Chains A and B, each alone.
Chain A
């Protein structure tokens, strides 16, 4: 496991370094063009990047959680969710229990945050919570916990910042170039080094156009690898790949868009939150591997070990697998990663009452989190009382009895 994390880190570091070089090149040539000094541009690029990185490092998770309007829950709010997270914490050997947040949104998604395993949190939408059975929930949480365990969260946040910096620099440079071009071309009137000037301009424009695209591609490459690895780890932790597979199936079939996601936060989610409204997630690639392929790989696994995933992955995609041979050899020696049976709660075909019960539980939770009081009238009606309600009693609209608040 460790070796494999390390090998993955090496690969990610190489890709990240590639992105860094791209950023420096862009800064250098823009500087050279606009101020006639490459170093100046380099420094500006580094300052912008440094500031954004600091903010992302220290406040990134708080900002992300605040922007997505996520609310922290405790064990009593939803014992099952808490238990499942704790189970995955134990299975992954994480030392500290991550915080748990819920987003009140019918869209189906989940993500992990936190710059290190001690400051980690998992977040899930109420829609997903209502939709998944215990095994599926375990698969999804296992996926998120392995993002924490493999330290993907910090890496992806840092990559997102670098990508953001490149995009911002290129964007501003394009505007400035465009407007100064309209204003008569300050640069072209400058004497000396005409040929060099043109070359620099050409390289600058080329970089402005290509850098954001290249950075995006690198970013996607990193995040896709990480998604596969998280799927593999989830299967290993739960010993039940079918759980995640069937959860992904539900995600793929869903067509609701998450309201509170944006470009930079997209790779944090289990499935891409940016598919078009009404369009299923299955045919969208970008930051996430095609969801149907992920399901296919998980279903093709003959055991729950990483080498089983690797084998299924190679069958589905051809070429090299996800983990280095040394890690797989060690993992194969464990030999104990046999698949487990589904938990007794999981029925082959879910009955309606079960679904209704889960949806009700989740909506109760959301009401409670918004400080609404619930009163059970003797006629069986549930009354929700807003926190703004000042009165001392409320009349049941169903049977007319008066209930005290």
Chain B
């Protein structure tokens, strides 16, 4: 559990944030570059000194400007995974991994080298020098090194941003496994929505140094007022669901969510496993009546909540927020909106193509991992 209240002025900007997290799992700190995300976690780590504020970690005060408490970074027991590889070049991978572990009191070494090697697949590179590692391997070693120090909180500063896209896809499962195996709360700074949807439970949006929003990922990505901040990526909605059953005959998995049951191509996971999925706005079609002859697969009844931008504007496409038990964004041309005579409050049927579920975004939220 961490509680943070921080203020700091720079020459051109200032930071004033206040938040708490109590649950394990990943809390994403999202914002544009320059919004102050990294400064916030640097202050939590003790690398940057706030002008005023208070930070509590697991009931202990690690910074308090009022009582002049300011623990050194090495006394805070907070791990930090940096954006770029900061492995020690004069030590091999094994000694890098053990650097923090050796400095932790024996009684607090709950996570062992073998645990970390297993979860992160580091076995083949233990005796190698960091200079010979690829970017993705180096990041995995950095994860392991930070975790092995057995921190109470783990900070990650855009750990994937120095990697190219295929490498990112390779590393994401390792972060999921860290989250699920070691139960250390993680504050994850990023400006990539894909990573948040895949990894995070909670989302803090930082804009111009202050907290613009704080809530679950599902909640915040569905909010219209935050769309200028969450950006173009949000041509879609994020839904939390649980696996209801696996239909091996047709190779489908049934997911239950507040709007009913959604059928998607089979995914791994036992019934009851929570998953998150993203549905792109262009993969939903709208009909005012139950389509005749259409299979009833993934058709949900609901109503229009909002049309953005308003139907009177001149753009070709509009985004429509509908409610089928959960909020969903749908992208339609203005022509279709006029033809269907859509307006807020109108009853509609939404047809979600089963194949449109973004498999990339399917991920266990808490509890058991999806392998």
- Are A and B associated in one complex? no
Chain A residues close to B by CB (< 8 Å)? none
Chain B residues close to A by CB (< 8 Å)? none
